[in-house]
Amino acid sequence: MTGTPNPSSAGSDGAARVQTKISVSDPKIMVNLLGAKDEILRLIERTLASDVHVRGNEITITGDPAENATAERLFSELIELIERGETLSVDSVRRTAAMLEDATAERPAEVLTLNILSRRGKTIRPKTLGQKRYVDAIDENTIVFGIGPAGTGKTYLAMAKAVQALTAKQVSRIILTRPAVEAGERLGFLPGTLNEKIDPYLRPLYDALHDMLDPESIPRLMAAGTIEVAPLAYMRGRAQPLTANVLTPDGWRQIGELQVGDLVVGSDGLPTPVLGVFPQGKKQVYRVTTQDGASTLACGEHLWTVRTVDDRSHGRPARVLQTQDMIGKLRRGAVHRYQLPLVDAVEFVPQDVPMDPYALGLLLGDGCLTTATTPSFATNDPELAEALDAALPGITLSRKTEVDYILRRSEGGRGGVITANPVTAVLRELELAGTRSDTKFVPERYLMNSAAVRLAMLQGLLDNDGGPVTQAGRTCRVQYTTCSERLRDDVIFLVRSLGGTVTWRARPAAGRKPGLAKGRPVEYRHDAYVLEIRLPETVEPFRLERKRETYALAGSGRPMRFIHSIEPEGETETVCIQVAAEDSLYVTDDLIVTHNTLNDAFIILDEAQNTTPEQMKMFLTRLGFGAKIVVTGDVTQVDLPGGTTSGLKIVREILQNVEDVHFAELSSSDVVRHRLVAEIVDAYARYDADQEQAATQSVHAVPGRAASGGRPGRRR
């Protein structure tokens, strides 16, 4: 470029006019710079104060030095846009000139070439400085509010950033929602199916998705839960009944009793605090049952972390689905489709116990606990007798027969003060005294204790009445049998609390072939319960050497839990909790792992001006770890019923000083639709301002009311 002063030419104000010449070596750039039928050149001429002439590959600019400098910058930015692959349009020229006029810190070429997504030759990028700053804010903050008039690209750009994040595997799912306020969220009054009722409110979100993804992939991504599109009313109901049990470090509590700050058990078996408790009102709930007989109740929108067979075979991470998403899809042929995670070994608050847990497990198996006589123990495994003897200080096992042992006090003898047998005293303390084979149980302080105590208890039970079961071509499982219904349930809890799974079946006493005792037939008096157990590799179920060896040689396999059925259970009052665990998981009935917040998700709330303050709070508190939220809306277009405050209008006052929350303001200058839209927005803004001013003046003009202080009878 060269600039040469021309003293003979002067402007009307007497300032010297100069000429600046710009040479464009690439003919393609010059063609783009001029536009079809020179429309871009004519726009540039109308925009600039300097005179512009083009001949061949040379552009001559004539005007005062300051005006020429502005023209040079404009041409420089436009040429750079073309060199970066942008095809100039009348719109992009207008925006470049506007940014230069505003003397912004960001260069127009940098703003207008920031690519977010490219698909089938179409590139999505910001078109204004306000949009560029909005997109940058989404990158830099966890929660962003995009507030501005219609046509400023708030939702479209947020959607593009969501798809970009999903493609880059920065998030695992996209959730798109907006309030269906025009129907008062009473969608049942509208004709048609549920999808037909809500589609008009969600159509803009679907349309944006189709611009950014292959249409063929969208149904697949939605079926997999990777993309969820739902009205806001359906975002809030991720809940369980008030009576659902939640596991805590101290034992079970009903979810309806929990408060913020209470501790619950997370999927890692460790305590995690409750961050929020949100009553959800009366909702339809479903009983979700697993193949191992565990079950719990949850609403249709409640969330579940699951993996499918394909997910496992391809090494894909777990996906998050709603209860209602899985109904009717629970099997693929004969195979269960949805696998749930299992809790790691739970760590309850440790408690002191009066007897070694392994020893008590042995006695619950083959010990005589009536306490009518001296406690005894029966086994044909000397190894177990030795282990019991070593685990009971102050007790000596005296062999009575080949299989019977008497548990005597070590210091016992004839004469002197009579003291209770230590084992008898402990059995009475634990309320086990007098129990028989059909009434035995594991005391509460052993069930709700450390993982080490529970494992030792389970090992004692299994060494007596359990054993490894091997089958050709299959890994080894553990089988356990008891006549006590309560002990059956206690063993099930022990197994599940250690990360295992267990199923059971009953063998009725009636009709069974009698057993033999010393050659004599003995009728069965009680039903038997047979438990089939799978435990994690890290959990050793046996201490008895012969059982340990068999179990190790056959291989333990791994426990797995699948959703078996989902059945409606009517309506009931429900509540939702949010926990601080990184994966947002907590443990509910039968040690089922579930959750209800949104981790690793990109969440967009559109048309947020039509949310109430309560809905806005509910939505924002769904934020999980690794998630990002973008809220968009126009505070001048609130459709809420009269007298209802918009949640978007007051949220700035509430969150303005919260770190990592950003409010991006877009204006009419950021409108990217037809140019008239921006003018319409400005015209309405002026009209609203005039109306407000007129209303204020009308109030001040009321006789007897002074604007200064409101005292009657005083005039200005």
Mean pLDDT value of segment 317-325 = 83
Beta strands in 523-674 (DSSP E): 528-534, 561-579, 585-588, 592-595, 601-605, 628-633, 661-665
Q: Are 126 and 97 in contact (CB under 8 A)?
A: no
pLDDT at 245: 97
pLDDT at 710: 43
Q: Which residues pair with 299 in a beta bridge?
A: 285
Q: Are 494 and 442 in contact (CB under 8 A)?
A: yes
Model confidence at 707, in pLDDT bands (50, 70, 90)?
very low
pLDDT at 416: 47
> Phi/psi of residue 190, each to 5°?
-90, 150
Alpha-carbon distance values, 305 to 248, 322, 466, 587, 593 (Å): 20, 9, 33, 12, 8
pLDDT (tens digit, 9 = 90+) per residue, 218-233?
888 887 778 887 777 6
Average pLDDT for the chain: 84
pLDDT at 15: 57
Claim: this prediction has a pTM higher than 0.75: no
pLDDT (tens digit, 9 = 90+) per residue, 145-199?
999 988 888 999 999 999 999 988 888 889 888 886 544 444 444 455 445 555 6
Task: For residues 316 and 711, give the distance between their C-alpha atoms in angstroms, rounded to a whole number.
Answer: 74
Q: Among 377, 478, 385, 462, which residue's Cα sits nearest to residue 427?
A: 377
The b-or-e profile of 648-681 (16+ CB within 10 A means b, else e) is bbebeeebeeeeebbbbebbbbbbbeeeebbebb
- Which burial class, exposed, middle or buried, applies to 485 when counting CB atoms under 10 A from its CB (0-12, 13-18, 19+)? middle
pLDDT at 539: 94
Q: Judge whether residue 595 has pLDDT over 90.
A: no
Q: Are 398 and 386 in contact (CB under 8 A)?
A: no
pLDDT at 186: 47
Please give the full DSSP string across 615-627, using - where no structure is assigned.
Answer: HHHHHHTTB-TT-
All structural domains of the chain: 2-113 (3.30.1370.10), 130-232+600-670 (3.40.50.300), 239-342+561-595 (2.170.16.10), 357-554 (3.10.28.10)
pLDDT (tens digit, 9 = 90+) per residue, 509-530?
877 777 777 777 777 788 999 9
Task: For residues 211 and 206, give the distance between their C-alpha atoms in angstroms, rounded to a whole number.
Answer: 9
pLDDT at 700: 63
Say how many C-beta atoms besides its own lie within 10 A of residue 712's C-beta. Answer: 8
Beta strands in 327-425 (DSSP E): 331-332, 335-336, 339-340, 367-368, 376-378, 395-399, 404-409
The b-or-e profile of 44-75 (16+ CB within 10 A means b, else e) is beebbebbbebeeeebebbbbeebbebbbebb
Structure tokens at 309: 């067979």
| Secondary structure (3-state) at 449 | coil
Task: For residues 535 and 501, give the distance between their C-alpha atoms in angstroms, rounded to a whole number.
Answer: 7
Structure tokens at 153: 């690209």
